[in-house]
Each structure stands twice: as structure tokens, then as C-alpha cells.
Structure 1
Amino acid sequence: MRTTIIYGAISAFVLTGCVEFRENQVFNDIHVEQEKPFHLSEEIYSDYMTSDAWVTPATSCLTVSTSVDAAKEGDLGLKISWNKTSAGCPWLGLGFGWDNWTGKDLSIIKNTGAIEFYVKLSEGERTSLPWAMGFEDFTGAQAWLGLNANVVKADKITTEWTRIELPLSEFNWDEQGADASNIKQVIIQFEADGEVMLDEIRLVPYTGGYRKRVSVAEVCVEAGNLEKQRDILTRGNSVDVGPGQLYLGHCGNTIFIAGEVKDDTPLSNTKSGRNIYDGDAIELAFSTDFTSYQRRTLFRSTDRHFAIRMSSNPMVFDFTSDEVVENAMVLTERTADGYRFVAAIPYTKEGENEFVMTRLYGLELAIDASEGDSRGKQYRWNNNEVDGFFKNPALWGEMLIQTRREADL
């Protein structure tokens, strides 16, 4: 990854056509309701290259031009041609300081916002683009995210307009020490070669997609009555995991989980301790620290991993502390095509590392299905194709902690 930026004066733009520049116009009409405005404008590029844009001055390697043909909306879009593989080509990039180079506070929307734009190819098709996008703060620190297939909101990028969406939460802010509350500019870095049309770069609300996300509401009304708590939980949004539907809630230092699972041999599990997963079981792993880097590959002391034995004699085991959770409460019940359950699990001491409202935490859920006297299959929520969530938090999805009102239960 580069450590410096090549800044070119506006006169250094290498163009194949005429670029029209216009003074940047800022406004306060933002789409995301926040405690305070996090920036002046969510629009980064639309129609005109303003005086806060720059491009690496390397004519034979990178050209950027405005064009009517490159416009998805409005008057003008950007036509970009690049060839990083040519001999002598330097680092290639395009940047936007938007809002007249003022500092932008994106920290409030770091977990709920995304940068979005539209691209189309001049010819052919690609599954992704050999680009990386970065945010630079006023100290020079940069957070980056590559344009892999996860950010492409279609099967492929073609000659038709394709939406690209990069969640702000996926940028490596912590790893690079970048300050989301004092952003100077956004940068596009080009590798390999290609030609695309690019338009409508903006910040937008983000509700999930790169990683699966679920809103987890505060449900303290009937915290001591599991049957009533189950009724409240199941009025919320369900999480589909293999043969089951799961529901989550929280109250103080307790996480609630309920669900209905289709199972031909329901509630078959006689295992205990660290073998509790080896039969019918529900597993949940999550972080209790919203500042934890979500792409970390090792457990931290603030991560939790529980398994609930699904049987007529249910129990909860905490893999992180290697002990049975004696004060957990669980109800199980056979149904016509499987079983249903509800559990209340204290995940920390009261008042210590409890969930913070509106914050985002890592989460993975799994249903273990018995076959004979052991587990036959495991169904996972966020990453069903890759095993190992019990040791690798990078495989987890996300839960957004909300109040009951916000979740609209």
C-alpha cells in the first residue's frame, strides 16, 4: 500500500475531452438522521469536477474526462481509462476533497453508512474492479477497502450501469489508525488496466449486505418471564439460519434468543461441557466491544461464544470461560415439525461491557442438527460456506444494538 499521495494541480488533469469545473456547492439536506450533521454534503461527485478534485498526472497511464455518455444521471459522468501495467507508470489515483476540503466527521455513520457509486464498462464484463478506495484524514492516515465482488450489487459489472456499495465499517480504520471524525478526502487507487464510466459518487445509509446484519432490540418488559419474552421476540425480525428462524433481543447484561427449528429428530442431545455442540444445539458468538476490529482473525477477551443444548434438559455452556452458565434460563418445546425454544443468557457482569445503543457488534449464529447420537450438520448464518466462526471473528456478521422504539417491535 502506498504511503504518499501524488497531488496534481487542477491544471495537471490529463483529459481526453473537456472537463467543466464548477465551484462546489454545499448543503445541509442529508438523508441520514444523526445527532448532528456529519458533513456538509453527501454528494462527492455528480456532473462536475470541482476545484477539490485531483488526478495523478501521468498521461500515458491514466486519463479522466467528463462525458455526456458517461452520465447515469444529470449532465456529465466520468470516463476513466488506466493502464498501471505500462512501463514507467507511477501510483495511479483520483481524489475528491469534497465540501471545499473541509474536515468531514464520518464517525457517527461509520457503522451505518456506505460510499456508493455507479459504473459500467465500455465493453465486456468483470466480476469486480482492480481498484481500492480510501479515506484520508488530515494527519495523512488512510483507511482502505478493495473493490471485491462483495461490493458489486449485481452478478457482474457489464456495459449496463452497476451499483457499487462499500460499507464504511469495512474500511481498515483501526489497522491504519485513520480518524473517521476528521476526513480530508476520498481516493480511488487504480491497478491493472481498464476503461469504465463512473458517476454519482455519494454517501448513503447502509443497512447491510457486505456482511449480514440484524437489528437487536432492547426487550426488558418481560425479562423474567421467558414465555412472554418469546412472544415479544418473535414479533421482531427473524434471522434465517438453515432449517430455523431465530430472534434476538437484549436487556442490560443479558442477551435473549428464541427460535423455531424444523427437525425430524428434535431435541436430541445428551452431550455436556465442551461437547455440547455434538447434537441438537444453538450456538451464538459475538463481541461485547463495539470498537473491536471486525476483520480480526483471533478471539479477544471481550468476545463470547455460547452453546445451548436443545433437549428436554437444556443447558448453556460458555466456551470462552469453559463453564456452564448456571444463571441462564432456557425453555424448550417440541412442535409438529421440530422444536422451539427461548433462552436468556447473562453474557457479562451487570454494568460491565454491556451493549451500547446504536453501536455495531460482530455476531454469528449457528444451528447444530443431530444425526444419530452426534451432530450431523451445522448451519451458519453469515458464513455458511466456511467453518471456523468459533475461532475466527472475521467470519461473523453484524448486530446493530437498538432500543425497542427504534426496532419498532
Structure 2
Amino acid sequence: MNLCVHKTFSFLLVILITLCSFAQDTLRIDEAVIKSKKLQLKKKGLYDGEYVEDYSIRGFTQDVLFENELLDFWATEDLKCIDAQTLNYGKENVLNIKWNKDQDGCDWVGIGIGWDGWKSKDFAYVVDTLALELVVRSTGENFTNIPWAFCFEDYKGSQAWLGYNTSFLKGDVISKEWTQVVLPLSLFPFDEFDTDAANIKQLLVQLFSEGEIEILSVKLVPFAGKLKNEFLAKKQSIIIDGDFSDWESSFELFNGQQFCVSYSDEYLYLAYIINDSTPLQNTKIEGELWNGDAVEFAFSTNPNANDKRSFLLLSDQHIGINCGDSPYVWDFKRSQLIPNSKLEIIEVNTGYIVESSIPLNYFKNFEFKSGINLDMEVAIDLGNNETRHNQIRWNSSNKDGFHQNPSMWGNLLIQ
């Protein structure tokens, strides 16, 4: 081989190696099309220009999924199902999305953002301190619900999905003014669905129903809000008579309902003020009490239990109170009535009130100690003599299944 041929072969080999280093695996998703992908290389001298330090959140810098420039993006290909494009409004490029899943052929409608050149993203050490933030606005009438489900997918294909809930909206409505939608990363069920938070590939969004929305930015932002509700239980002696005047603790208001928890050396005390237009309707028996007017109370008797566990321990308790014509206090775990419990239910103008006491010795070697922190969830079942039509939960308002998953419970602080 002469010198000229040898140099030409070496040059081509260098080009091929360089191109391979920027190769991206093909995205194998049915009915999807890559909308935008760009790699930029800019020649720059060693001391040219201004050095700009990457914005960091505990060392995490892959924080911008979309802002002014839409990269590493794909969407369902059929434009009758979804049309996603950037629109320029002077200084701002806005992502406009119109969709209609209700049409024939639109079985799955969605978008995906790989961001940062489809590099792997490590959420594992920031999952408790970051949230996914979308800055959005309406193109027409005001609304509060976005019929979307959000997902982070890892590089082995496992997916952690989280449905939209109005509690994520940082405002009263989505109007023609920009407002924030904030989804804490810790609410995404990475462990439950075996999704590797240290090797995230992309954000997926599945769209339901139909609508139109504009998005100014999609980012990962610091999140310091409380992920779990807290209730402080005070020690006091209560007479179970339907009169709340001896309750020194403040009642907790949530979604139009109220509850209170207290204790003494001998009893756990529960109180509820239920707002119900069709009160005290429940003909179910034993463990089926949830399928009508009822209240539920779940808590752990082990202050050292991992609050992220997704399964019940022996120390986890689940109590139900049937609020129909034949009321009773039920233990869901042991499938039995709770002996020596006391119960008073009184109908009032707005619904009904519930007051109950349960002996602490029923829970075997358990006592409330000042300063401990226990897991707890409260649920209100609203229904009629036929069925339950709604369940209102204190902490896990945006997701069903608290009766099997203590990670969805809030905190009971013992004063």
C-alpha cells in the first residue's frame, strides 16, 4: 500500500469512528416519528468566549427537557391523532399540542422527550428533591384537568407511570396566563415497576380524550414541599357520646370532610365530620362495609417501619366503620369485629358525625409514645345502599390502593 492510499484509509477510519460515537439507537415505538433531533459541534479556542457553569441541583445538570428549543422529541405519527409543533411568539418558542384520541385509529396517542442527546439520566440521588415542572397555558377556555399520564422510562424498557391530578396544578385553573404543573419525582413508582431511576432514557406522555394546550417549558426543578400530610395527635380522655366539646385537638379538613385522631393510655380515639347529601346508607356486612357509607383508618404500630414499603407488615392496621343502619367497627386485617370498641354515629344537617374508641390492648404490646412518628391514612367512603360511588382519601388523594400500599399513607405525629 503506497503512502497516499494509507493516509486516505486512515482518514476514513477516523471519520467512521467519530460518527459511531454519536450514533443513537433506533427508537422502536409503534406509530411514532422523531420530530426533532440535533447535535451541534462548535469549534472554539481554548480561552475564547465566556465560561458558563452548568446549573446544578445537588450535582444534577440534565434539568431542561424543553425550553425554547425542542430536541430529541417524538410523537405519534398520525396527525389526526396529535399535532405537536413549536410556535414562535417573538422571543419565545412554545410547544403547541392538539390531540384527539377519540378518533378511529388513535389507539395510543403520546409524545416522548429523550433530552440531553438521549444520554442516560441518573435520578437515584435526587428523586426526593426534584420535581417535573411544566409551564402551561390554555388556548381557549379555562380548565383544570389535563387528561394525561406521565412516565419515566429506563434503558431496559421499564416504565414508571403517574396520572395527572389537579393537586399538581399551582393555581386555581389553567387559563391563557402561564401557570405551573409540578409532579414530584418521588411520586413516580420507580421501585414498584422495577424502573431504574439511575438509568432514565426518556419522558413519555400518554394523552387521552381531546384538547389543546401550549407549553412554555418542561424542566426538572428543586422540590422542597411535603410529600406526605401530617396530623398531630394529642393525649386526652374522650367520652364517646357524639359530643365533640371534649376534643382539644383541631379537626383536619380535606376535600370537604373532617377527621381527628387522639389517644389515652387505654384507647385510640377517632372522630369524623362527614359531608354527605345521602347519609347513613350502607347495607353491606363485615368486610364489605367499604361499599357504602363508611369511614376507614389505616395506621402502623411500628414507628421504625420503612415508610416507602409497598406491602403490608403485621404491624400495619386497617380499621373500618360501617355507617349504615347497623353500624360496627371492623378489623380488615383479621376479618373480625373489634371487641370492646365504642361507637356513636349521629345524623346532622350536612351529613353525619362519627365518634369511636378502640382499646389499645387490641393491638398487642402497643402504646402511643410521645415523639414517635407513625404512618397513617384516612378514607371516607360515600355511597348508598347499593354501592360506593366515591372514596375521598386524606393523603393518597390522587391514587387508589392505600389498603395494600403503606407508602401512600401520611404521617401521624404523637404529641
**TM-score when scaled to structure 2?**
0.53
Q: Could you say which residue in structure 1 is the equivalent of 2:38?
A: 10
Cα RMSD for the two superposed structures: 6.4
For 2:353 and 2:132, the matched residues in 1 are separated by: 42
User: Deviation of residue 94 (structure 1)?
Assistant: 2.0
User: Deviation of residue 351 (structure 1)?
Assistant: 7.0
DSSP 3-state at the match of 1:11? coil
DSSP 3-state at the match of 2:152? strand
Q: Could you say which residue in structure 1 is the equivalent of 2:318?
A: 304
Q: Could you say which residue in structure 2 is the equivalent of 1:316?
A: 329
Q: Rate the CA distance shift 1:120–1:333 in 2: closer, same or farther, 3 A.
A: closer
Is this contact kept in 2: 1:83–1:193, CA < 8 A? yes
For 1:395 and 1:350, the matched residues in 2 are separated by: 24
- The match for 1:103 among 110, 122, 129 is 122
Alignment of 1:198 onto 2:226 = no
User: Deviation of residue 118 (structure 1)?
Assistant: 1.9
Q: Could you say which residue in structure 1 is the equivalent of 2:11?
A: none
Q: Could you say which residue in structure 2 is the equivalent of 1:159?
A: 176
For 2:99 and 2:251, the matched residues in 1 are separated by: 47
User: Deviations for 1:303-359, whole angstroms, at most 9, x for unmatched residues?
Assistant: 723227899xx963324423232364x47598999867352465854479xxxx878
Alignment of 1:89-238 (within 5 A): 92-96=111-115, 103-105=122-124, 109=128, 114-123=131-140, 128-129=145-146, 131-137=148-154, 139-147=156-164, 157-166=174-183, 168=185, 171-173=188-190, 176-180=193-197, 182=198, 184=200, 187-189=203-205, 196-199=214-217, 201-203=219-221, 204-206=223-225, 214-217=229-232, 219=234, 221=235, 225-226=237-238, 234-238=248-252
Q: Rate the CA distance shift 1:45–1:321 in 2: closer, same or farther, 3 A.
A: same
For 2:246 and 2:226, the matched residues in 1 are separated by: 23
Is this contact kept in 1: 2:133–2:220, CA < 8 A? yes
Q: Rate the CA distance shift 1:358–1:120 in 2: closer, same or farther, 3 A.
A: farther
Is this contact kept in 2: 1:233–1:248, CA < 8 A? no
Q: Rate the CA distance shift 1:155–1:402 in 2: closer, same or farther, 3 A.
A: closer
User: Deviation of residue 102 (structure 1)?
Assistant: 5.1
For 1:339 and 1:363, the matched residues in 2 are separated by: 15
Alignment of 1:403 onto 2:404 = no
Q: Could you say which residue in structure 2 is the equivalent of 1:372?
A: none
Q: Could you say which residue in structure 2 is the equivalent of 1:286?
A: 298
Q: Could you say which residue in structure 2 is the equivalent of 1:27?
A: 56
User: Deviation of residue 401 (structure 1)?
Assistant: 1.1
Q: Could you say which residue in structure 2 is the equivalent of 1:56?
A: 74
Gaps of 5+ in 1: 13-21, 29-36, 70-74, 370-374
Is this contact kept in 2: 1:116–1:165, CA < 8 A? yes
User: Deviations for 1:54-112, whole angstroms, at most 9, x for unmatched residues?
Assistant: 2239999776558565xxxxx7553345779999x9974223459x85522367639xx
User: Deviations for 1:276-328, whole angstroms, at most 9, x for unmatched residues?
Assistant: 979xx96314375855669xxxx9996723227899xx963324423232364
Q: Could you say which residue in structure 1 is the equivalent of 2:379?
A: 364
Gaps of 5+ in 2: 1-26, 41-50, 301-305
Q: Rate the CA distance shift 1:82–1:397 in 2: closer, same or farther, 3 A.
A: same
For 2:62 and 2:245, the matched residues in 1 are separated by: 40
Q: Could you say which residue in structure 2 is the equivalent of 1:72?
A: none
User: Deviations for 1:355-402, whole angstroms, at most 9, x for unmatched residues?
Assistant: xx8786654135899xxxxx8998976179xxxx99995999964114
Is this contact kept in 2: 1:383–1:395, CA < 8 A? no
Q: Could you say which residue in structure 2 is the equivalent of 1:32?
A: none
The structure that has the greater radius of gyration is: 2
**TM-score when scaled to structure 1?**
0.54
Is this contact kept in 2: 1:363–1:396, CA < 8 A? no
Q: Could you say which residue in structure 2 is the equivalent of 1:79?
A: 95
For 1:58 and 1:197, the matched residues in 2 are separated by: 18
Q: Rate the CA distance shift 1:159–1:333 in 2: closer, same or farther, 3 A.
A: closer
For 1:343 and 1:368, the matched residues in 2 are separated by: 24
- The match for 2:339 among 326, 332, 357 is 326
Is this contact kept in 1: 2:289–2:320, CA < 8 A? no
Number of equivalent positions: 342
For 2:344 and 2:211, the matched residues in 1 are separated by: 58
Is this contact kept in 1: 2:294–2:321, CA < 8 A? yes
DSSP 3-state at the match of 1:257? strand
Amino acid of the structure 2 residue aligned with 1:27 = S
For 1:143 and 1:390, the matched residues in 2 are separated by: 16
User: Deviation of residue 119 (structure 1)?
Assistant: 1.0
Report percent identity of matched pairs. Answer: 15
